[in-house]
Amino acid sequence: MTSYQKATLLTDGGVAKARAWKGQVCVVSLSVVLFVVLLISMATGPLDIPVNTVFSLLVSYIGVDQSVSPAVVQVIESIRLPRAVLGLLVGSALAVSGATIQGVFRNPLADPTLIGVSGGAALAAVTVVVFGHTFIAYLPGWLQNYALLIAAFTGGLLVTLLVSHIATSALGMSISTLLLAGIAIGIITMSGVGVMTYLADDTQLRTLTFWQMGSLGGATWGLVVAAATLIIPACLLMMRYATRLNAMLLGEAEAGHLGVNVQLVRRRLIIFSALAVGASVAVSGMIGFVGLVIPHLVRMTIGPDHRYLLPASALAGALFLLVADMVARTLLSPAEIPIGLVTAIIGGPFFIGLIIYRGQHGAF
Amino acid sequence: MSRFLCRQLSVVGLVLSLCGLPIQANEIISEYDTHSQPRRVVSTDGSLTEIVYALGLGAYLVGVDTTSTYPKAVTELPQVGYKRALSVEGVMSLMPDVVLTTDDSGPPIVIEKLQQVGITIQNYSASPDLSVIKDKIIGVANELGVPKKGETLWAKVSSQIESAISRPLPDKPVKVLFVLSFSDRSPMVAGSDTSANMMINLAGGVNAASTLMGYKPISTEALIGLEPDVILMMDGRNPTVSAGMLFSSPGFDQIPASVEKRLITMDGMMLLGLGPRTGLAISQLNQALYPSQSLASVKSERLQ
């Protein structure tokens, strides 16, 4: 055990133990709920598939022979499951990155938009929507369908690198400069999106409006695998830095004295969250609210210890997006609501209610 | 700690009850089998919906998109949403044999998945071109197994178009500006390469904004510079825009059209949809442009 790990544990034994227990309970119960909701979401949709059919299908995977009609199998395996898994990935990516960035900035109002990743991804994606027809035809066939995804991902990553480069001086990266650079670059990318919107024709305009509202409707297994190879490692890497993030909560100098290389940790965490968020935005468009508020909710419940905060945020973000997508798919069926609207419409008032409750009853 | 557990449990309960609602224990899913003739049709374009009705097969429609507004009966049908944001399962839940689409329908991945589950996709061009109407009418009629009816309908529609565009016109055509949306900010107008531009030309007018490409917002000054004699708009979409309001707003009060307050409003789908009502739309627009004309010459061969 290194010195900073000891320090975070030994500050107040009783409180720390109680919180750790709470954190473990929270992670376990969230996992159980998530599994149940995943099953429910398999049985929820415009097409009527009863829960027991889903169970029969699951049992048939284990080897017990069950008669499930091929049409149902196809709906679940090629439409609902990839979409649900994509929702899980995107939800955890956004929530874990949100929690990490809030830790890096030591500010509960921070979210991944501050490091420019969403803005960069949006600008690149919108550029492809508007000007894509001029160059997509020259790309190799397998690339054409993914041009928008790849552009969004690289755009997000490049802008994040630019922001962190601007914020780094000879003395290292300063958080206040990072914040200012992030805000300034955010404004520039958004005006870039505005320029593209102006140049877009009528149909492109509708496409990019819908893209900005987010959707998991494009889910295929190929997309899920692509997203997973970026999101899962990035999230796991962020979780490895949990104790160092805890130390950094004490303050930059204090973390340094505890043996944390603050500059290095900060730079790496920014890159990891840019990878995770960039991949999410590329596959699902802009889904707001999750990155800012889910870590908040979790922190209000189990406290700021990142060892539990990060995994619990991942589970809560996945759960939230899964439920939001069920609403998006079924509420106006057979039509579909963009999921970004659902997350904001459910999430906003819920969060306000929680803040009011907290104000009246004190922290949980 | 017990409060904490209670909260967890209540969240579980809430989530379960919320999600459990739409689940019913009845098995409705049926296999997609290939009918010799489609009986269940989803249309994702207003003009295609109109064609299905004009062929007398409105009863085949089981779902339409938001652009399908005519005839009135379609408003009773299930809505599959905006045609560029279709949902795979939503469309599948209507169990269509065939989905009628245009190049605008999407997203592409949804169309692809619908094809994978065995639903026939009939796609038509969305470009502003009169030949598209024939393709759509004949194509839909063949797909629905009534090629004869399709030929009859096309004969009727094409003769309507012929007679509408062979009407005599005055020497000096009027300059028409199509305003897609009018608000307190820059109005969005139709340049060339739009169906509005095509319809204005077919009705014997001249598009005042033909130097622009596509639909573009323009400034007040540019609007005055275009000097339109007539403003053309879609009705239903902006019910509050009256001629009085329009021609008292800045810019619009200084154009030639404001002198006689010449505002023409037409059904958007009829005017721009390139459906079976296109011929009627041309002659209606033509009559509105030249109400009492001194006929001088006949414009010919405008179909080409």
Q: Looking at the partner chain, which of A50, A78, A334 has a beta carbon nearest the beta carbon of B87?
A: A334
Candidate from B8-12, B25-29, B113-117 with smallest mean pLDDT: B25-29
Percent of residues, chain B, with pLDDT higher than 70? 81
pTM: 0.79
Higher pLDDT: B159 or B31? It is B159
Let me know: does B82 contact B66? Beta carbons within 8 Å.
yes
The full set of domains in chain A, from first to last, is 21-361 (1.10.3470.10)
Pairing of strands B215-217, B188-190: antiparallel
In the predicted structure, residue B248 carries a pLDDT above the cut 60: yes
Candidate from A5-9, A31-35, B153-157 with smallest mean pLDDT: A5-9
Which residues, at least 6 apart from A113, have a Cβ–Cβ distance to it below 8 Å? A119, A182, A186, A291
In the predicted structure, residue A119 carries a pLDDT above the cut 50: yes
In chain A, residues with a C-beta closer than 8 Å to the C-beta of B92 are: 46-47, 75, 79
Query: Measured between CB atoms, does B33 come within 8 Å of chain A?
Result: no
pLDDT value, residue A204: 82
In the predicted structure, residue A363 carries a pLDDT above the cut 70: no
pLDDT value, residue A149: 87
pLDDT value, residue B24: 35
In the predicted structure, residue B26 carries a pLDDT above the cut 50: no
pLDDT value, residue A56: 85
DSSP string across A125-175 = HHHHHHHHHHHGGGS-HHHHTTHHHHHHHHHHHHHHHHHHHHHEETTEE-H
Our CA-based measurement puts residue A201 at a distance from the nearest CA of chain B, in whole angstroms, of: 6
How many beta-carbon contacts under 8 Å exist across A and B? 144
Give B49-86 pLDDT, tens digit per residue: 999 999 999 999 999 999 898 898 998 999 999 888 89
Neighbours of A230 (CB within 10 A): 19
Q: Provide the mean pLDDT of chain B.
A: 82
Our CA-based measurement puts residue A329 at a distance from the nearest CA of chain B, in whole angstroms, of: 8
Integer Cα distance of A352 and B280 in angstroms? 54
Give A35-84 pLDDT, tens digit per residue: 999 999 999 888 888 888 888 888 888 877 777 788 788 888 888 999 99
Let me know: does B117 contact B94? Beta carbons within 8 Å.
no
Residues 237-296 of B with CB under 8 A from A: none
With cut-offs at 50, 70 and 90, classify the pLDDT of residue B32. Answer: very low
With cut-offs at 50, 70 and 90, classify the pLDDT of residue B2. Answer: low
Pairing of strands B297-298, B168-169: antiparallel
In chain B, residues with a C-beta closer than 8 Å to the C-beta of A72 are: 29
pLDDT value, residue A289: 85
pLDDT value, residue B295: 44
Give B190-226 pLDDT, tens digit per residue: 999 899 999 999 999 999 999 988 888 888 888 999 9
Q: Inter-chain contact A46–B80, Cβ cutoff 8 Å?
A: no
Q: Which residue of B has its CA nearest to A319?
A: B15
